[in-house]
Amino acid sequence: MHLSNGMGSMSTASSSGAWKSGDVVTDQFPAGLRVLVVDDDPTCLMILERMLRTCLYEVTKCNRAEIALSLLRENKNGFDIVISDVHMPDMDGFKLLEHVGLEMDLPVIMMSADDGKSVVMKGVTHGACDYLIKPVRIEALKNIWQHVVRKKKNEWKDVEQSGSVEEGDRQQKPSEDADYSSSANEGTWKNSKRRKDEEEETDERDDSSTLKKPRVVWSVELHQQFVGAVNQLGIDKAVPKKILELMNVPGLTRENVASHLQKYRLYLRRLSGVSQHQNNLSNSFMSPQEASFGAMQSLSGLDLQTLAVTGQLPVQSLATLQAAGLGRSTTKSGVPMPLVDQRNLFSFENPKQHHLSSSKPMNLLHGIPTTMEAKQLANLHQSAQSLGAVNMQVNAHGVQNSSLLMPVAQSQPRGQILNETSGNHVPRLSSSMGHPIMSNGMSSGVSGRNGMVDSGRGGGYNPMQQNSSILNYPLNSSSQLPCNSFTLGSTPVMSSLTSKGAFPEDVNSDVKISSGFMPSYDMFNELQQHKSNDWDLQNVGLTFDPSQHTNSMHNSLDPSVLVHQGFSSSQRGGQSRSPTTVGKALFSMGEGSHLGNVQNTGQHLNGFVVDNTVRIKAEAVPDATSQTSFFHEQYGQDDLMSALLKQQDGLGPAENEFDFDGYSLDNIPV
Amino acid sequence: MDRNQLQRQVALKRSFLFEQCYLDPQQFVQLEELQDDANPNFVEEIVTLFYKDSARLFQKIEQALYSRPIDFAKLDDYMHQFKGSTSSIGAIKVKNECSQFKEFCLAANADGCVRALERVKQEHQTLRIHLENYFQLRRQAGLVQRV
């Protein structure tokens, strides 16, 4: 019924027939349920895969969260459910959970050997639909399909209840159809999303009737309206009906608002819970900032202004902040890993400024007396707690955001506005960013299920998406490879992705291993056709590992990285073929060696020899990627600076596509 | 030895492993149930994979243990990973020693950790020998069967 691997799912329309309108269960169900399982422990992963196969599910296994995310992004409708370990070296399982929930809105099951109450609770607050204790028993896996059904049922109910949905819509578009939309639908959806950028939500709704998209897409503007309404009412009094009235958006239903409010509350609740931790994080990541960010920081004033306007901050405080911020521009404004998300947070306002704003908060934090911070934090906590929790991504940047906002916001509601606005926009952005990336070269369709997927802004500025888009590319070009091969073969390759686009010293060592990603430059060329290219490439080098500050540096450098990559990729158009081969070779090597391992060691129970073999093979690959290292070596601080400045110029046209300008620059008071 | 004898030996060995708490019968049987005609040696493959991965984890743990200053949180994390692995194949004794190690990590007791790691490795190796023997017997019994 379903495709054998998630990557091919988008190109086949046959699967969509399996999901009838209003009927989430087919006669074969749950057989064929497409599961993506993520665990860094190869033993567990293999056992889980085997168990899931025994349950007649279609299993794709991943040993890295980054790979999993890229797989998911590439095939938004390629999976039904995700099972992920909590403890993973490259990315916290909860972070992956957030991403998946926001971008793909798939049910996610967490698992861990840790059965402590706090960890399980964390799973709940982050929106996991279930939590399994390891070692996982097959009985537990037999029932995971219920989460898929439940989610689809809820989605479908939303569709039904949205009053503006036409009758024809309901019949045409069971939520499942949207998931499995063929490329025809996907194209239509993409186009309509572009149009939606300029038009009102009603237009989108009209479009959606032909797109079979039951969900409301929460665009940046819509979300801003939502947050504004919520703040106006006061978090405690914000009920969907009143919010709806305040928003006055034709076509929006109370149910849409209600579900969005729920997510928003979850998000805020989580923010308050981690704000303390984030503060610490931000401090620890402060160090490595470069002077090249001075230019970026000079733009932070714009960020503040934007925020001020958005949050109606008093101008005096804005000026103070600016002074404080600029005065501290020499301070290293480390951008913690989580700030990747923070960038998302601000990104919808102004992609470039997002970088700056992400670094900005750090400065402000330092410039502000601790007591005030603590008080503000406390205020924020209270307000956030009353808001409830929303399953939004990135606690980190939520916190960063709040740190920035708290000193600025004199009154609590203001802080909330800023916080909420930013926080909520981040997920939007990430999801919206994903689409253009995917449409650029991927066969995967835009997911209709993701309510967050509002504005398929061209060239979305989503650092996360950027990262994944890069990951996507190699996958795309080597699409014939079974997913399983990624685990072994791609491990050495993927690990290098984290520092892509980083400073030369970081990049050289990592880039060598990134041979598998050479194919990604194929996509870069394609991307260049779109204005969004800059943004897509911008976040190369973003990692999901909060523990490395170098990564954070990479993040802040995105604009420059972006430009460089844009330039380089055009040069390397001709090189794309070989990297693809290399990538494929790598993967197939990985796969081959894996099989060889099992067979050989089956006899001797000695994995050491095989292990070395695997390693050798992996190392052989980097030799082929000298081009990549060359590419990255171009990065220098000066280059970055100039790139950044160039990028600023280039932002104009790009921004139009994002439709952010309506919010950001226009709002800046003269 | 004829087939029956070999098969009896396999069964005996299996019981021994369970009774001596080398292996958790619940978990191990779960793994065995995953075997079928298409995957007749699944358990052996898993165990092989486990031992191969163990080497990698041991390396990380030792590196962390012998670095100065010791990052006990990291040590605990690595051992947590290893422990998860051992529990997935049902290796009880090894898992218990892992728990001991984690206790020492919590207490930031470097010497305790070193000793606990030694015990983990001992149990790990002992189990390995037993399992190798078990799978060999199993194969022999199976081979005889095929003939």
Q: What is the pLDDT of residues A588-635, one digit of tens each?
A: 333 334 333 334 433 443 434 444 443 444 344 444 444 444 444 444
Q: Which of A44, A112, A594, A600 to mutate to test the interface with B (most CBs of B within 10 A)?
A: A44
Find the residue in A nearest to B131 (Cα).
A605
**pTM exceeds 0.90, yes or no:** no
Rounded to an integer, the average pLDDT of A22-47 is: 82
Rounded to an integer, the average pLDDT of A542-553 is: 40
Per the prediction, chain A carries an average pLDDT of 55
Rounded to an integer, the average pLDDT of A493-503 is: 38
The verdict on a CB contact (< 8 Å) between A608 and B55 is: yes
**A113, A602, A610 member nearest B80 (Cβ):** A113
The verdict on a CB contact (< 8 Å) between B53 and A40 is: no
Task: Read off the pLDDT band of A389 (50, 70, 90).
Answer: very low
Rounded to an integer, the average pLDDT of B7-33 is: 93
Rounded to an integer, the average pLDDT of B1-27 is: 90
Per-residue pLDDT at A170 exceeds 80: no
Q: Which residues contact A180 (CB under 8 A, 6 or more apart)?
A: A9, A13, A15, A16, A18, A19, A77
Find the residue in B nearest to A135 (Cα).
B88
Find the residue in B nearest to A594 (Cα).
B49
Could you tell me if B31 lies within 8 Å of chain A, comparing CB atoms? yes
Number of H-type helices and E-type strands within chain B: 6, 0
- For each of the domains in chain B, give its residue range(s) and CATH number, in order of start: 3-144 (1.20.120.160)
- Cα angle, residue A30 at apex, residues A26 and A36 outer, rounded to 5°: 125
Task: Read off the pLDDT band of A161 (50, 70, 90).
Answer: confident
- Please tell me the distance from the alpha carbon of residue A253 to that of residue B133, in angstroms, as a whole number: 67
A633-648 pLDDT per residue, tens = 444 445 545 544 554 4
Per-residue pLDDT at B147 exceeds 90: no
* Lowest model confidence (mean pLDDT) among A139-143, A267-271, A460-464, B55-59: A460-464
Task: Read off the pLDDT band of A399 (50, 70, 90).
Answer: very low
Q: How far is B88 from chain A (nearest CA, A)?
A: 5
Q: Which residues of B touch A51 (CB under 8 A)?
A: 34
Q: Residue type for A155, please?
A: E
- Please tell me the distance from the alpha carbon of residue A205 to that of residue A397, in angstroms, as a whole number: 31
Q: Which residues contact A380 (CB under 8 A, 6 or more apart)?
A: A271, A272, A275, A402, A405, A406, A412, A415, A416, A419
Per-residue pLDDT at A336 exceeds 70: no
Per-residue pLDDT at A65 exceeds 80: yes
Q: How far is A58 from chain B (nearest CA, A)?
A: 16
The verdict on a CB contact (< 8 Å) between B52 and A611 is: yes
- Please tell me the distance from the alpha carbon of residue A204 to that of residue A196, in angstroms, as a whole number: 6
Per the prediction, chain B carries an average pLDDT of 91
More confident residue, A118 or A192: A118
CA distances from A639 to A296, A461, A504, A508, A634 (A): 14, 21, 11, 16, 7
More confident residue, A82 or A298: A82
A274-305 pLDDT per residue, tens = 554 544 444 444 444 444 444 444 444 444 44
Closest-CA residue to B65 (of B73, B57, B75, B55): B75
Q: Which residues of B touch A112 (CB under 8 A)?
A: 84
- pLDDT in the model for residue A41: 92
**Which helix (DSSP H) or strand (DSSP E) does residue A372 occupy?**
helix A370-387
Q: Which residues contact A543 (CB under 8 A, 6 or more apart)?
A: A66, A90, A337, A340, A467, A497, A498, A499, A551, A554
**CATH superfamily for domain A34-158:** Response regulator (3.40.50.2300)
Q: Which residues of A touch B52 (CB under 8 A)?
A: 597, 601, 607-608, 610-611
Q: Residue type for B45, please?
A: E
- Please tell me the distance from the alpha carbon of residue A101 to that of residue A98, in angstroms, as a whole number: 5
Q: Which of A39, A43, A114, A491 to mutate to test the interface with B (most CBs of B within 10 A)?
A: A43
Per-residue pLDDT at A568 exceeds 80: no
Q: How far is B112 from chain A (nearest CA, A)?
A: 23
- pLDDT in the model for residue A76: 78
Rounded to an integer, the average pLDDT of A470-496 is: 39
The verdict on a CB contact (< 8 Å) between B42 and A44 is: no
- pLDDT in the model for residue A415: 38
Task: Read off the pLDDT band of A114 (50, 70, 90).
Answer: confident
Find the residue in A nearest to B90 (Cα).
A135
Closest-CA residue to A75 (of A335, A417, A437): A437
Closest-CA residue to A68 (of A35, A38, A90, A40): A38
The verdict on a CB contact (< 8 Å) between B30 and A87 is: no
Could you tell me if B92 lies within 8 Å of chain A, comparing CB atoms? no
Longest CA–CA span in chain A (Å) reads 76
Per-residue pLDDT at A168 exceeds 50: no
CA distances from B59 to A239, A510, B52 (A): 56, 21, 11
Find the residue in B nearest to A40 (Cα).
B81
The verdict on a CB contact (< 8 Å) between A113 and B87 is: yes
- pLDDT in the model for residue B52: 93
Buried b (16+ CB within 10 A) or exposed e, B50-67: bbbbbebbbebbeebbee
- pLDDT in the model for residue A449: 41
* Lowest model confidence (mean pLDDT) among A52-56, A154-158, A161-165, B36-40: A161-165
- Please tell me the distance from the alpha carbon of residue B115 to that of residue B102, in angstroms, as a whole number: 12
Rounded to an integer, the average pLDDT of A487-491 is: 38
Q: Does domain A220-271 correspond to CATH entry 1.10.10.60?
A: yes
- Please tell me the distance from the alpha carbon of residue A232 to that of residue A246, in angstroms, as a whole number: 9
Strands, E assignment, A201-270: none
What is the β-pairing status of strands A108-112 and A58-62?
A: unpaired
Q: Which residues of A touch B59 (CB under 8 A)?
A: none
Q: How far is B17 from chain A (nearest CA, A)?
A: 17
Closest-CA residue to A562 (of A460, A490, A475, A668): A460
The verdict on a CB contact (< 8 Å) between B85 and A611 is: no
**Which helix (DSSP H) or strand (DSSP E) does residue A112 occupy?**
strand A108-112
- Please tell me the distance from the alpha carbon of residue B108 to that of residue A199, in angstroms, as a whole number: 61
**Which helix (DSSP H) or strand (DSSP E) does residue A36 occupy?**
strand A34-38
Rounded to an integer, the average pLDDT of A436-440 is: 38
- pLDDT in the model for residue B62: 93
Instruction: Indicate the SS3 state at residue A34.
Output: strand
Q: Which residues contact A110 (CB under 8 A, 6 or more apart)?
A: A84, A85, A86, A93, A94, A97, A123, A128, A130, A131, A132
Rounded to an integer, the average pLDDT of A120-146 is: 90
- Please tell me the distance from the alpha carbon of residue A126 to that of residue A108, in angstroms, as a whole number: 10
Q: Please spell the DSSP secondary structure of A289-345, one letter per residue.
A: --TTHHHHHHTHHHHHHHHHHHHT--HHHHHHHHHHHHHTTTS-----TTHHHHHHH
ipTM for the complex?
Answer: 0.93
Could you tell me if B132 lies within 8 Å of chain A, comparing CB atoms? yes
- pLDDT in the model for residue A641: 53
Return the top range by mean pLDDT from A29-33, A378-382, A661-665, B10-14.
Answer: B10-14
**B34, B41, B88 member nearest A135 (Cβ):** B88
Q: Which two tokens stand for residue A108?
A: 């996610």
Q: Which residues of A touch B79 (CB under 8 A)?
A: none
Find the residue in B nearest to A615 (Cα).
B56
Per-residue pLDDT at B123 exceeds 60: yes
Per-residue pLDDT at A655 exceeds 50: no
Per-residue pLDDT at B1 exceeds 70: no
Which positions in chain A have a beta carbon within 8 angstroms of at least one beta carbon in chain B? 40-44, 46-47, 50-51, 54, 87, 112-114, 134-135, 137-138, 597-598, 601-602, 605-608, 610-611
Q: Which residues contact A182 (CB under 8 A, 6 or more apart)?
A: A13, A16, A445
- pLDDT in the model for residue B88: 92
- Please tell me the distance from the alpha carbon of residue A636 to that of residue A647, in angstroms, as a whole number: 16
Q: Which of A39, A47, A484, A610 to mutate to test the interface with B (most CBs of B within 10 A)?
A: A47
Q: How far is A592 from chain B (nearest CA, A)?
A: 15
**CB contacts < 8 A (A, B):** 88
- Please tell me the distance from the alpha carbon of residue A576 to that of residue A582, in angstroms, as a whole number: 10
Closest-CA residue to A186 (of A36, A9, A68, A6): A9
CB-based burial label for A397 (10 Å; 0-12, 13-18, 19+): buried
What are the sequence ranges of the domains in chain A? 34-158, 220-271
- pLDDT in the model for residue A645: 53
